[in-house]
Each structure stands twice: as structure tokens, then as C-alpha cells.
Amino acid sequence: MECRICGERNAIKLGSVSTYCDYNVEILQCPDCGSRFAPYKEEVYEFLHATANSTYEPHKALARAVSDAFRNGDCDSIRRLLIGVPKYRYVIENIEKMPLQCKILEVGCSSGYLTAYFNSIGFNATGMDVSSSAIADARSQFGEHYCTLDEWKVFSGPKYEVVVLVGTIGCVEDPVGLLNDLSEQLSESGVILMNAPNRNFADRMGVNHVWPFTTSPPDLITAFAPEFWSMMFSDDFDVETQASFSPARNAVVAGLLEKWNIYRIRKLVNSSKLRWRLFKAMRLVVTAFAALKYSKVMTDIPAEYGLYVKMTRKSEHGRENYV
């Protein structure tokens, strides 16, 4: 089978998972690029942003909390709200070291709260998302610093010093193609900062768990090997990769959710509030069970989404020397 990520034809089927009661999907892994992946479903992101009680509700709740602080000009409160999430902390701490003159593009900005923080502390930041519903929500709370992908393609202006992808790269159909396109929008020595789903987390879970990640297809559809980024982009970028670790009980939660088919409580389409409340209650029960039973008996493991990547574009001179 052909690998959706690198195009090689050696992908191996690992199995099938039912991530919703009305959605079953095949999971494959590529021995060439190391990616584990599911099929891409184009319309899902607009659907999840536009639908109440979807898996994107936490993003909307965080946006509402940030919006209250944003209206009051309270940058410190916005930072505190975001910095508690490791993937936001990684990006924020890197960008806060950069000059305020930097122009920033956030790809996959969701409801716009991270872009809003950078604008609130003086950067020139633009948020972009494929979902028109997400962009409408971001504009209503944080102003006109947001655009859809189609709008960005038409109106993109001067190049960016920083491109940010938080919780995005594992959700796109063609991650290599996207990053190559974005690299054309980077200034000389520009930087791409992102987090990525770590395939080593799935490997640590064992062969009985083909998709143990707590974010399910068709939302999250690709997990990457840590060496993937250097393998694919070292000709044009200096690549720094950092893997974080999390308590083992987090893996137990993910594994039990999959093993006990808790996900099948949900429906992808037309799910009721009752189904979502039941799913959230069951997830809470599983989390409590894992915390009580496994909190001290297992070593830390690679964090699901804690593969942090910084790619600094090489100068033309540097690329010539490399060749």
C-alpha cells in the first residue's frame, strides 16, 4: 500500500479501529518514513468546529477564557492560561526570545487564542485555519488577524520570520507538502515551530494497540517517528527535535479507552449531548482507575503529542555548502 506521507509503496496494515460508533478506519505504518497513519477526511475539520459537543469543545472553552483576559488587556492572564499546556509552552517560550518585529503565522489556529496572545504582547501575528467556522469564531473574539486557507493564499504578503503549527501537523493530508509550501513563505533564516504526535508512544503501548492516541481519526491521522523531520527536511533546514515524557498512567488511560471501546459511545455525526456526557464520564472513570492502580508502578513514557520540532531555514550559502 502507498504511504500517504512519503509516497513509498511499502505501507503495512496494522489493523482497524472504531474511533466512533459510526466510523471505522484502517491504520497503516510505513517502514520507510516511520509514520503511522489513517485516511484523510477533508470535511471533518469544518464539521468539528461548527458542531456543538464535538471534540473541539475544549478549544472553544479555552478561547472564551482567553477572550475575557484579552478584552481587559491582561497579557499575563492569557499567558498563564496557555502556558499550562506543554505544546503552547514550547512555542511561547521560543517566540518570547525573538524580536517583536517578527512576523508570525499560526497554521491551524482554531479559535485564535494563541495568535491573540502574540498580538497582545506586541508581535505581528496572523492566524490561519481551513475551517471558516473557526476563523469566524476567532475574529469575533480577537479581531481581524485571522484568515482561512483560501484567503491566505490570495492575500499573503511579506514573508514570515516564524511559522507555528500547534496540534496541526498530525491532522493534515500531506504534511511534507504543507511544510514545503510554508518554507517558501519563510524569510531568510526563518523558523518553523511545532509539536507532533510521537509514534514512539504507540510503539511503547505494544502491538495490541494500533491507535492508542487519545485524539482519534478522522481528526488526528498521522503520528511521526522522531527521526522523520531530519530525514525529510535536513537539506533545507537545521532541525532540532526534542521528545518529552509523561507519566505512565497517561498511556494506561489511552490504552484502556481503546481496549474497552469507550470511543464507540460517541457518534461522529449528529452526536447527542447525552452521548458526549457519557463519554466524558467514562473517560473520567478510566483516568481515575489508571491514577489509582498504575501511578507508581511504571516508568515515564514518550508523551503522545510531545515531539517538539524547531526547523531553522538554512541560508542560500548554507544550502550551497551542504550540497
Residue the block writes with cell 494497540: 209
pLDDT at residue number 263: 74
Identify the CATH number of the domain in which residue 150 sits. 3.40.50.150
For residue range 247-286, what is the model confidence (pLDDT) as tens digits? 666 667 777 777 677 777 777 767 777 887 888 788 788 7
Q: Is residue 163 part of a domain?
A: yes
Closest CA to 309 of 197, 180, 215, 174: 197
Q: In whole numbers, what is the pLDDT of the chain averaged over residues? A: 88
For residue range 134-181, what is the model confidence (pLDDT) as tens digits? 999 999 999 999 999 888 876 666 789 999 999 999 999 999 999 999
Q: Is residue 115 part of a domain?
A: yes
Q: Is residue 13 part of a domain?
A: no
Q: Is residue 97 part of a domain?
A: yes
Q: Please give the tally of structural domains in the chain.
A: 1
Q: Is residue 5 part of a domain?
A: no
Residues of the chain under the 70 pLDDT cut:
154-157, 206-207, 247-251, 259, 269, 290-299, 316-323
Q: 272 is written with which cell numbers?
A: 447527542
Q: Is residue 239 part of a domain?
A: yes
pLDDT at residue number 287: 75
Domain housing 210 = 39-322
pLDDT at residue number 322: 42
pLDDT at residue number 102: 94
